[in-house]
Amino acid sequence: MKADVKPKPVISGEVETGSVLLAVENVSLSFGGVKAIRGVSFDIRKGEIRAIIGPNGAGKTSMLNVINGFYHPQGGTITYKGKGRHEMRPYLAAKGGIARTFQTSPSSRACPPSTTS
Does the predicted model carry a pTM greater than 0.85?
no
User: What are the tens digits of pLDDT across the range 26-59?
Assistant: 999 999 999 999 999 999 999 898 899 999 999 9
Three-state helix/strand/coil letters over 47-107: CCCCCCCCCCCCCHHHHHHHHCCCCCCCEEEEEECCEECCCCCHHHHHHHCCCCCCCCCHH
* Pairing mode of beta strands 20-31, 83-84: unpaired
User: Fold for domain 20-96?
Assistant: Rossmann fold (3.40.50)
User: What are the tens digits of pLDDT across the range 68-107?
Assistant: 989 999 999 999 988 887 777 888 888 888 887 777 777 6
For the chain, what are the domain ranges?
20-96
